[in-house]
Structure 1
Amino acid sequence: MRFLSYTKRVLPCGARVVFRRMDSPLVAVNLWVRAGVKDEEPEKNGISHFFEHMVFKGTVHFPGLLLSRRVQALGGTLNAGTSLDTTDFYLVVPREFWKEALALEMELVTQPLFDPEDIEREKMVVIQEIHLDEDDPEERLARLLYERVFSNTPYGLPILGREETVRLFTREDLLRHQERFYHPANMVLAVSGDLQEGELFAFSEELFGSFPAPRELDTPLFPPLPSPERQIVECVMDVRRFYGAIGFLCGGIKSDDCYLLRLLSLVMGDGLGSRLNVALREERQIVDTIHTTYSYYEHAGIFAIFFTFSRGNLEEIEEAIRGEFTRLTYFVPTDEELKRAKNLLKSGFFSATETTLGSAELLGRLDTIDSIDRSLRALFEIERVKPQDLVEVARRYVDFERGTSILIKPGE
């Protein structure tokens, strides 16, 4: 793993700092927080995403438009993202401004203004996002799938929240969310660029020391995962073709099966040469598109097959998909198929580490929801994976008697 050498240190305050030295004129500063949808109470669904929006409305030293002007003055790019597990903020700047960038990112999460008028305006922005997602068949398909596969857990809730929850957010809600989750022991700082390691750690420790001391607060416990059961959900949208998905509850990033499921997804449904594409799209021509995904999170994962079709029916397509997974048992992946999947997996990983931002995002996310060391060790053990291993992992999780099927049909 010498190509991805990095240093990780736990500061006295509890924050973890991960650094990758890269020969680049740019430095990426990526701050990760263990706060996402999984940590939200149902009546506060969407607060993590709303918090992310609101910090960009100004801080104590850079109110309003002064924040974006400061970022531009540094020649930087500032953005953020919210997921089921995390919220992260990144700033990419020329190397000479890395200290200013790090200080600014810390101010974003420690001293946001949360102006009440800005809060009311931003509610309408987020509600518009929610409506746009509801009108997008692919977004709605994924939303319905997660809602059913992860039922009765926070993973089944939408990242953006619901209109009725967003409308009720208050400044006090944002301050409480900040107090509960935005403290050093709940953060990972990932930095990539041409810096001196010792200087970065010293400056990071100094900045994290400015955080207010956290109160003793209850950490939300993730509820038990549901027992998979057969579910079929159909709905109608103003679309011109059918959108379908079949999903299966799986282990998450900490599962020993994580990389096996990623390889299985690549063999079965990644690219025109994958098994499902050849059988259903090229030979039988019963789908317009088809692909598989394996999405992994801290507490669970979901293996899914997504497809679209203009003619035919869901039962015929599902039977054909089931047949291909049954066929996997008798015609195990060939050495060529497995090698292709391993190469695609490694290629995607290497591509992510070619830039400072890609490196910081990869290292930061892995160490926030798991451990970089364990995740990377598992990645480099994929060379030991044999064809029969993919057959076994498919048997463990891809059970069509307990899968969730979603279909969006054209109509009024």
Structure 2
Amino acid sequence: MRAILLLAFLTLEVVTMGLALAQELYIRDLPNGGKLIVKPRDDTSAVALHVWFRVGSIYEKYDEKGMAHFLEHMLFNGSEKYPYGEVDKIIESLGGNINAGTSKDFTYYHIEIAAPYWREALEVLYQITLKALLDEKMIEKEKEIVIEELRRGKDNPSTVLWETFEKTAYKVSPYRFPVIGFENTIRNFTRDMLLRFYRDFYQPRNMAVIVVGNVNPEEVEREVTRTFGREEGRPVPKVQIPNEPEQIGARFEKLEDPRVEKAYWIIGWRVPPIGKTDYYGLVVLDEILGSGRTSVLYRELREKGLVYSYFAGDLGRPRDNMYVISATFDPDKYEEVKEKVLKLLEEVYKSLTEKQVESAKQKIISSRIFEEEKVEGEAYDIGYSYTVIRDIDFYRFFEKNVGRVRKVDVMKVYEKYLSKGDYVEVLMLPKGGSR
């Protein structure tokens, strides 16, 4: 009893810490429609500065496939203030890191730097995101770089496996297309096309500036207003993103690849979009099923030598979300692995206890707080919540919502989403392998 009470106390303490930290947000609407979110922290000497745009590959027309990713490359190729190569030199000379990422739902640019240099970092982010030159010669140069990146991806069996999985899972949704696009679309990009896409989506009304770290929020607001805030806010194009129709029955694709010696396998189910009420039950189920060395999949698959490696988790999508389990194993173990995974899902459902649920919740909440000790982790969570989920309360009340999950909520997730045979499956075998 004493141990149970201690666990309950620690869980409550962690939840309280998380909520206290999360509620100290300084949120302002810029005059041009942009959003500023600052999380001041005096427990660190670092600052993370992020600029998020609600645009990724699902916002592209077919002849624009790969454009969001291509623009991410182009924005480092010169701005009104900084010529090509200058940005990296500035940030590195100040001891910081700069990078960017493009996904199917969003694009973001970020710098992590010591607190005294946050203004210089903010100016750099302003220049590369809203003042890019998109020089014609650099566009042609970058095409070859991105196409080479695309070809290297095709040479990677894991990339082929995941792209095949998404093509199999999605028949209508633009999630079925790869972020990097296609060689023929990339080659046909013109400066006018890029400028139109850039002007439509890289602008204040489609933007959030996130700053987390040892800063004064009012000072940040003044600097952001002076830079990002002076740009014109324009109507953002309304892009109709079709939802994937309900799947009836299982889908299976088999690949053979002479480059692999092991079997590579993915199985996935439709699950609630990130942030919805029943999503938190999925988070707890995933913790029990596949997170860490104490998880069911680790003990029953990895420790017992049935698989070489595995991954489990949802794709974190605001629509048409999926929960996937992937694994690598000896080709002749495919049937055994699949049967075991499906059996383990059912066994977790049937044997689930409140104690398991409470333990999983405590681990999730603790992990979240440890992750957000780093300013870049917290800035990312804020940006993702506002930009992708379109609900900053996902960040604010994540711990509270996880804390509300009960055994029955976890069981309902299995019953509604994972218990039926409407899954998607892709198996890659060595050339000449059998099934």
Alignment check: 8 A CA contact 2:278 2:409 kept: no
Residue number in structure 2 paired with 1:356: 375
Residue number in structure 2 paired with 1:66: 86
Paired with 1:3 and 1:57, the residues of 2 have a C-alpha distance of 37
| Structure 2: 5+ residue stretches without partners | 1-18
Match of 1:100 among 120, 123, 133: 120
Match of 1:225 among 221, 224, 244: 244
Match of 1:253 among 263, 270, 274: 274
Match of 1:346 among 365, 372, 375: 365
Alignment of 1:118-267 (within 5 A): 118-214=138-234, 216=235, 218-229=237-248, 230-237=250-257, 238-267=259-288
**1:376/1:149 Cα in 2 relative to 1: closer, same or farther (>3 Å)?**
farther
**1:287/1:124 Cα in 2 relative to 1: closer, same or farther (>3 Å)?**
same
User: How far 1:268 moved relative to its partner?
Assistant: 1.2
**1:14/1:272 Cα in 2 relative to 1: closer, same or farther (>3 Å)?**
same
Alignment check: 8 A CA contact 1:84 1:297 kept: no
2:362 is paired with a residue of what secondary structure? helix
Paired with 2:309 and 2:354, the residues of 1 have a C-alpha distance of 24
Alignment check: 8 A CA contact 2:385 2:394 kept: no
Alignment check: 8 A CA contact 1:363 1:372 kept: yes
**1:246/1:56 Cα in 2 relative to 1: closer, same or farther (>3 Å)?**
same
Residue number in structure 2 paired with 1:277: 298
Structure-2-length-normalised TM-score: 0.88
**1:191/1:401 Cα in 2 relative to 1: closer, same or farther (>3 Å)?**
same
Paired with 1:77 and 1:155, the residues of 2 have a C-alpha distance of 30
User: How far 1:49 moved relative to its partner?
Assistant: 0.7
Paired with 2:377 and 2:307, the residues of 1 have a C-alpha distance of 34
Alignment of 1:283-298 (within 5 A): 283=304, 285-298=305-318
Residue number in structure 2 paired with 1:2: 20
| Higher alpha-carbon deviation: 352-361 or 389-398 | 352-361
Alignment check: 8 A CA contact 2:270 2:322 kept: yes
User: How far 1:93 moved relative to its partner?
Assistant: 2.7
User: How far 1:80 moved relative to its partner?
Assistant: 0.5
Paired with 2:387 and 2:191, the residues of 1 have a C-alpha distance of 27
Residue number in structure 1 paired with 2:429: 409
* Aligned: 1:30 with 2:37: no
Alignment check: 8 A CA contact 1:258 1:296 kept: no
User: How far 1:65 moved relative to its partner?
Assistant: 2.2
Alignment check: 8 A CA contact 1:249 1:300 kept: yes
User: How far 1:18 moved relative to its partner?
Assistant: 0.9
Paired with 2:420 and 2:83, the residues of 1 have a C-alpha distance of 54
Residue number in structure 1 paired with 2:14: none
Letter in 2 for 1:289: S
1:13 is paired with a residue of what secondary structure? coil
Alignment check: 8 A CA contact 1:17 1:189 kept: yes
Paired with 2:218 and 2:38, the residues of 1 have a C-alpha distance of 10
* Aligned: 1:366 with 2:385: yes
Q: Deviations over 1:313-358 (max 9, x none)?
A: 43332222222222233212451x3234223322331122112222
Q: Deviations over 1:32-90 (max 9, x none)?
A: 00011121112211111110110101112211122323333443321100111110011
**How many pairs are equivalent?**
409
Letter in 2 for 1:264: L
Residue number in structure 2 paired with 1:391: 411
User: How far 1:123 moved relative to its partner?
Assistant: 1.5
Q: Deviations over 1:155-191 (max 9, x none)?
A: 1211111222222222112211111111111111100
1:255 is paired with a residue of what secondary structure? coil
Paired with 2:226 and 2:303, the residues of 1 have a C-alpha distance of 59
Alignment check: 8 A CA contact 1:141 1:408 kept: yes
**1:334/1:280 Cα in 2 relative to 1: closer, same or farther (>3 Å)?**
farther
User: How far 1:120 moved relative to its partner?
Assistant: 1.6
Letter in 2 for 1:194: N
Alignment check: 8 A CA contact 1:286 1:312 kept: no
* Aligned: 1:379 with 2:399: yes
Q: Percent identity?
A: 27
